[in-house]
A and B are shown apart, each in its own frame.
With several copies, the nearest count.
Chain A
Amino acid sequence: MYEGIIFAGFGGQGIILSGKLICIAAMREGKNVSHIPSYGAEMRGGTANCSVVISDEEIASPLIRQPSICVVMNKPSLFKFEESVQAGGLLIYNTSLIDLKPSRDDIRAVPVQANDLAQEEGNVRSANMIALGLLLRLKPELAALDSVISALDEAVSARNRSLNIINTKSLKRGFSLS
């Protein structure tokens, strides 16, 4: 298995956390992982994204030009990354903030009302967990849901740890979608 995943959205949507969580979970399951946030040209208040590689083999390059999986949480991210997804790849997009459909038909595009569902679970800030749960459902070989849930306490800073109950619920909710 070799998957190059890009998570993308606003700063503040927990994009980096999604990446870290799946990395920790996959690592614990014995896979090779790398995570690299975009931090380059962007200034404050811009978009955020991170590149995650999960692989059975040693990871040569941690950079991803053509992701096999892309999770986009807002519109600018859809614009920015849709093109780059590998043919046959997976695109999860957050319809709570994206009011149009991906235009490509050579990829698998899966909508998710992440913000709304997160709100339902108790906090809109766990929208990223909804999307991540869904991803785990669609690509179970990446990592087990349980592994991700148990990675939560490690990856979330003390200050925000109280949110983990809702995060867990949201992960499960996302995982339950189909």
Chain B
Amino acid sequence: MAKGKPGIDIERCKGCALCIEACPEKILKMSESFNRQGQPYTICFEPERCTSCMSCAIICPDSAIRIWRYVAV
């Protein structure tokens, strides 16, 4: 059950892949297409497994990731 999800701004992303390494769940990977700056970017391929641990966001040098957490209402 997903605890949260990363929100990736693909136009900000520069494709450094630091977030991919940092994600403990290994649910991020590089896109095959390019963004407007001509860079590949990170995508989350299994958002359900996201624990909203924020690791990816913390390491992102380009502030391209926000983290959302699901909280019971």
Interface residue ranges, A against B (CB under 8 Å): 10, 45, 74-75, 97
Which B residues lie within 8 Å of A75 (CB)? 38
Least Cβ distance of A21 to chain B in Å? 23
Which B residues lie within 8 Å of A45 (CB)? 14
Complexed CA–CA distance, A45 and B14 (Å): 10
Q: How many A-B residue pairs have CB under 8 A?
A: 6
Complexed CA–CA distance, A75 and B34 (Å): 12
Which A residues lie within 8 Å of B34 (CB)? 97
Shortest beta-carbon contacts, A-B, top 4: A10-B38, A74-B38, A97-B38, A45-B14
Which parts of B1-45 form the interface with A (CB within 8 Å)? 14, 34, 38
- Nearest chain B residue, comparing its CB with the CB of A47: B38
Complexed CA–CA distance, A97 and B40 (Å): 13
Which B residues lie within 8 Å of A10 (CB)? 38
Contact with A along B36-70 (1 / 0, CB 8 A): 00100000000000000000000000000000000
Least Cβ distance of A111 to chain B in Å? 18
